[in-house]
């Protein structure tokens, strides 16, 4: 469904299941119909949102696609990232969208989507775990959590797949007794240790029932007109029209432009690399 403004109508829980939405950076000429045609092959599309400028009604070159299953969204990301939707257009960028309640300001990384946490019989070896989960995709490694004193299995293990879609398929289709869930690193910069990981669904279900609903998309509930009102109240001579941004991750000019073009009025952006960090 294409929207002409900066808001997205409230419509159900679009983070159910988790990681079932993809975030697209596309040409501003791409329509919902084109996106649907190219992305329908990966699964049941529940919703499409093409973000548009609320004043000019023009596409911002950003869209979201919601699938019925996480594995479908992951496959779409794996297959469509870097491809062209039509002739004479640039390759698109496809990422798994952050959950609406997330405080992170970057896309979900592939590495975060390839590890799962499972409950297993204490008699299982690592080979047993691999044999049980290899049907969903190539297993890069597995690690059984053991008692540091006795060396005995605690009946818990981490399994890392080669692709996010493999991990999602395992979570969706493995025997319910494994209670498979996605695992995320606490310290992403550190080397892998079982103790460094925790469940991405560690909060109790009862607690989640009392949480207020989060906004459906990162931009949908922010009133861009507030910027216009604030501008009218200020002395324009004392307000700079330029914004300096420092990023700890490398960005290309298109990424930076699409990010800040969400606010009406952007004329241009320029990137200057740090000579020491290369960022």
Q: What percent of the chain has pLDDT over 90?
A: 51
Of residues 257 and 62, the one with the higher pLDDT is: 62
pLDDT digits (tens, 9 = 90+) for 159-188: 999 999 999 999 999 999 999 999 976 555
Query: What pLDDT is attached to residue 27?
Result: 94
Of residues 33 and 275, the one with the higher pLDDT is: 33
219 neighbors 105 (Cβ within 8 angstroms): no
167 neighbors 182 (Cβ within 8 angstroms): yes
Same fold, 21-96 and 110-185: yes
Query: What pLDDT is attached to residue 93?
Result: 96
Query: What pLDDT is attached to residue 242?
Result: 73
pLDDT digits (tens, 9 = 90+) for 208-246: 333 333 333 443 433 333 334 433 443 444 455 677 777
pLDDT band, residue 150 (cuts 50/70/90): very high
Query: Between β-strands 139-146 and 181-185, what pairing exists: parallel, antiparallel or unpaired?
Result: unpaired
- Extents of the domains making up the chain: 21-96, 110-185
Query: What pLDDT is attached to residue 203?
Result: 38
65 neighbors 24 (Cβ within 8 angstroms): yes
Find how far residue 100's CA is from the centre of its chain: 10
What is the average pLDDT score of the chain? 76
pLDDT band, residue 205 (cuts 50/70/90): very low
pLDDT-wise least confident of 6-10, 37-41, 267-271: 6-10
Q: In which residue are the tokens 């997330």 written?
A: 102
Q: How far apart are CA 22 and CA 63, in angstroms?
A: 8
Q: How far apart are CA 8 and CA 222, in angstroms?
A: 10
What are residue 140's phi and psi, to 5 degrees? -80, -40
Q: Which fold has domain 21-96?
A: Alpha-Beta Plaits (3.30.70)
Domain 110-185 is found in CATH 3.90.650.10? no
pLDDT band, residue 111 (cuts 50/70/90): confident
| Cβ neighbourhood burial of 13 (10 Å; 0-12, 13-18, 19+) | exposed
Query: What pLDDT is attached to residue 36?
Result: 97
Predicted TM-score (pTM) of this structure: 0.64
pLDDT band, residue 84 (cuts 50/70/90): very high
Q: How far apart are CA 127 and CA 145, in angstroms?
A: 14
pLDDT surpasses 60 at 152 = yes
pLDDT digits (tens, 9 = 90+) for 26-81: 999 999 999 999 999 999 999 999 999 989 999 999 999 999 999 999 999 999 99
pLDDT surpasses 80 at 265 = no
């Amino acid at each position: 469904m294409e929207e002409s403004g900066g808001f997205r109508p409230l419509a159900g829980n679009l983070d159910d299941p988790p990681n079932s939405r993809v975030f697209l950076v596309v040409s501003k000429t791409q329509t919902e119909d084109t996106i649907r045609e190219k992305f329908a092959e990966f699964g049941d599309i529940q919703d499409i949102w093409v973000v548009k400028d609320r004043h000019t009604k023009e596409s911002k070159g950003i869209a979201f696609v919601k699938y019925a299953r996480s594995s479908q969204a992951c496959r779409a990301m794996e297959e469509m990232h870097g491809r062209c939707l039509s002739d004479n257009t640039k390759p698109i960028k496809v990422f798994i969208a952050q959950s609406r309640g997330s405080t992170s300001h970057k896309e979900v990384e592939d590495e975060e989507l390839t590890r799962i946490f499972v409950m297993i019989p204490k008699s299982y070896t690592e080979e047993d775990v691999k044999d049980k989960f290899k049907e969903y995709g190539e297993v890069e490694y597995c690690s059984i959590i053991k008692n540091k004193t006795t060396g005995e299995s605690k009946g818990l293990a981490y399994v890392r797949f080669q692709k996010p879609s493999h991990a999602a398929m395992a979570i969706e289709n493995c025997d319910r007794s494994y209670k498979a869930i996605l695992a995320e690193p606490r310290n992403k910069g550190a080397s892998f240790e079982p103790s460094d990981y925790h469940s991405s669904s560690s909060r109790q279900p009862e607690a989640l029932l009392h949480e207020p609903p989060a906004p459906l998309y990162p931009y949908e509930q922010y009133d861009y007109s507030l910027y216009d009102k604030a501008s009218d109240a200020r002395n324009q001579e004392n307000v700079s029209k330029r914004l300096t941004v420092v990023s700890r991750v490398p960005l290309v000019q298109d990424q930076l432009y699409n990010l800040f073009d969400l606010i009406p009025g952007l004329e241009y952006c320029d990137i200057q690399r740090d000579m020491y960090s290369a960022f």
